[in-house]
């Protein structure tokens, strides 16, 4: 749990983000899809609903559509009510497994190896594709790229998927180990896409020069005629590895364990099961031996010391720069990498853009020293300060040069809604819970209009502001809350502003508690020197996020006093009595 969870009220179910990446079922084999049970003692065949979790690097839209079918099927077969819960990353699902909140899970092969050693999980079953329970890592490049081998990617930009991914991180890292190198030394820049299909898209759009992706995902996209896959080619295939398995924790009741195992193993024997398997493009589920994952253990042992060596070697050479994930990884990379390139040219360091899965992880990465500095929002800055003692040093001047922006409530053009009071009893989409403009300020706008969460018929939180707009455009929600710049971006597509907040200070550039003073001073000088009236600087600024296009100015904690006051007042003003009583 983080320091706080703004407006995650106990009487409402907050939906997970539905990213923009379009993907499909076969991807289950590449990602973590977990069967969650209630935390506590041993799980028995009867009792409360078995929470079935989907933690993936693919789009939750597809996960909801496809995995609800298999989840419902398993529930019917074991004679127990089930409930699906989303988790987006391997780390999140691993943590649930370790805490005992997840009892059965589809997980990636590499996390299985680590989790078995760390806290003891056991194999239950594994999917079979083409008669085999194996898969591979593919190293891909653009079809027009001059790169012909993995060796040609030296000094290039490379995309990994998830830090715990076997095919998307471990294999290419092991490959570099056999070449007496590391990702830090070998590639010019590296980034994590947190999605195999997103990595393929990054290569197709030439945002990166190469990527490591999972074979099952890639082959599925090729068969479906994906335009992104069609723009890429494979330059190297890994040896085969044991496919991502279904695992079970050791404390699960033996009777329930066998029921779940049999439900998977017998899916291909029923009409409903065959239909689901066919849609997922897999043959069925089979038993699999632990030895199938020995090649992964070999790679793990070989690269075990590399992370420590990389951290030790980075010293003053590499600065790790975080950004809150308001957009998907590809868009963030395009908006912020030019700034890091400028800093690399004007300070004695190289820079790596670090993109975490959500706002909370971005804050924690800064506090733990995984990043040296980060561009945060007002709310996430205040959390980083309260939790870790982080300090703000600069803030962007914003679109008008006054270092301000606004939160807006949007509706579809032609909507009958004309005032905020009209939102009572309606469906509203918000951005991430830690978003200032997408969650904090719009809740105050609604409260001032006499509307609290209990007055809405439904509300959902989305990770990306763009996703909120799309939910409104598609008619999935009657209104949404986003940053004003996002509303302007989509105005031509039929978005209107129903209401807007007062001015909000732009989110600051924040340093962690252990960031060296010399680094801070070098970065400060370089960013303050950015001048939009300088033609050379304007060329750089024009490629950045809208808030950054006028450069930076000095800031202080006092600039965010009003936001702090609003957060601290939440437990007293929300009207539901369900918010944590925190002080920032």
Q: How far apart are CA 372 and CA 358, in angstroms?
A: 17
Domain 25-133+243-299 matches domain 137-238 at the CATH topology level? yes
Note whether 150 and 235 are within 8 A (CB).
yes
Domain layout of the chain by residue ranges: 25-133+243-299, 137-238, 315-402+506-566, 407-502
What does CATH list as the number for 25-133+243-299?
3.40.190.10
What does CATH list as the number for 315-402+506-566?
3.40.190.10
Superfamily of domain covering 407-502: Periplasmic binding protein-like II (3.40.190.10)
Q: How far apart are CA 408 and CA 441, in angstroms?
A: 9
- pLDDT tens, per residue, the chain with 584 residues: 333 333 333 333 333 333 333 333 343 333 323 322 333 334 444 567 777 766 554 443 444 567 778 888 998 999 988 776 666 677 778 888 888 887 888 888 998 999 998 898 999 999 999 999 999 999 999 999 999 999 999 999 999 998 889 999 999 999 999 999 999 899 998 888 878 988 999 999 999 999 999 998 899 889 889 999 999 999 999 999 999 998 888 888 899 899 999 999 999 999 999 998 888 888 999 999 999 999 999 999 999 865 444 444 444 478 999 999 888 777 888 889 899 989 988 999 988 888 887 899 999 999 999 999 999 999 999 999 999 999 999 999 999 999 999 999 999 999 999 999 999 999 999 998 889 999 989 988 898 888 988 899 999 998 889 889 999 999 999 999 999 999 998 999 999 999 999 999 999 999 999 899 999 999 999 999 999 999 999 999 998 988 899 999 999 999 999 988 887 776 455 545 444 445 56
Bridge partner residues of 157 (DSSP)? 189
**From the centroid of its chain, how far is CA 44?**
33
- The three-state secondary structure class of 562 is helix
Torsions phi, psi for 242 (to 5 deg): -60, 135
CA distances from 256 to 37, 250, 430 (A): 12, 12, 39
Where does residue 289 rank: exposed (0-12), middle (13-18), buried (19+ CB within 10 A)? exposed
**Top-level CATH class of 137-238?**
alpha beta
pTM assigned to the model:
0.66
């Amino acid at each position: 749990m983080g320091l706080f969870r703004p407006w995650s009220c106990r009487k409402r179910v907050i939906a997970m983000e539905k990213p923009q990446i379009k993907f499909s079922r076969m991807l289950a084999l590449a990602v973590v899809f977990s069967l969650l049970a209630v935390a506590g003692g041993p799980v028995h065949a009867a009792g409360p609903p078995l929470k079935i979790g989907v933690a993936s690097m693919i789009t939750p839209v597809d996960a909801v559509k496809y995995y609800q079918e298999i989840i419902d099927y398993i529930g019917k077969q074991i004679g127990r009510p089930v409930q699906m819960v989303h988790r987006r990353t391997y780390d999140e699902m691993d943590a649930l497994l370790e805490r005992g909140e997840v009892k059965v899970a589809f997980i990636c092969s590499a996390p299985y190896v680590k989790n078995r050693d760390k806290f003891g999980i056991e194999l239950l079953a594994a999917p079979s594709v083409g008669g085999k329970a194996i898969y591979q890592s593919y190293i891909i490049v653009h079809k027009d790229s001059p790169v012909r081998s993995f060796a040609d990617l030296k000094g290039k930009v490379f995309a990994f998927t998830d830090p715990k991914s076997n095919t998307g991180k471990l294999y290419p890292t092991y490959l570099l180990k056999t070449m007496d190198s590391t990702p830090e030394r070998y590639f010019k820049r590296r980034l994590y896409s947190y999605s195999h299909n997103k990595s393929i898209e990054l290569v197709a759009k030439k945002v990166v020069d190469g990527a490591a992706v999972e074979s099952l995902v890639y082959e599925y996209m090729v068969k479906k005629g994906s335009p992104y896959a069609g723009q890429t080619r494979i330059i190297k295939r890994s040896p085969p590895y044991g496919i991502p398995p279904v695992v079970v924790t050791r404390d699960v009741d033996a009777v329930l364990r066998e029921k779940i195992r049999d439900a998977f193993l017998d899916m291909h024997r029923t009409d409903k099961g065959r239909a689901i398997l066919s849609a997922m493009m897999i043959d069925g589920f089979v038993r699999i031996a632990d030895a199938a994952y020995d090649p992964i253990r070999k790679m793990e042992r070989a690269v075990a010391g590399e992370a420590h060596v990389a951290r030790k070697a980075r010293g003053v050479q590499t600065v790790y720069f975080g950004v809150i994930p308001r957009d998907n990884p590809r868009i963030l990379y395009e908006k912020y990498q030019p700034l890091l390139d400028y800093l690399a040219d004007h300070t004695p360091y190289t820079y790596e853009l670090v993109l975490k899965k959500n706002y909370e992880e971005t804050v924690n990465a800064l506090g733990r020293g995984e990043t040296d500095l980060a561009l945060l929002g007002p709310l996430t800055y205040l959390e980083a300060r309260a939790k870790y003692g982080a300090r703000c040093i600069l803030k962007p001047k914003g679109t008008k040069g006054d270092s301000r922006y606004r939160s807006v409530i949007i509706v579809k053009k032609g909507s009958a809604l004309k005032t905020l009071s009209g939102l009572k009893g309606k469906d509203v989409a918000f951005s991430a819970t830690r978003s200032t403009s997408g969650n904090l300020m719009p809740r105050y706008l609604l409260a001032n209009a006499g509307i609290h969460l209990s007055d809405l018929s439904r509300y959902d939180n989305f990770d990306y502001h763009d996703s909120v707009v799309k939910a409104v455009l598609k008619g999935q929600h009657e209104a949404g809350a986003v940053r004003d710049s996002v509303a302007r971006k989509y105005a031509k597509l039929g978005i209107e502003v129903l209401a807007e907040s007062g001015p909000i200070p732009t989110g600051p550039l924040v340093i962690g508690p252990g960031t060296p003073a010399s680094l801070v001073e070098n970065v400060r000088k370089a960013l303050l020197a950015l001048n939009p009236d300088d033609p050379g600087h304007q060329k750089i600024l024009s490629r950045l996020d809208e808030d950054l296009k006028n450069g930076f100015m000095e800031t202080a904690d006092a600039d965010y006093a009003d936001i702090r006051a609003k957060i601290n007042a939440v437990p007293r003003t929300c009207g539901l009595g369900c918010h944590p009583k925190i002080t920032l």
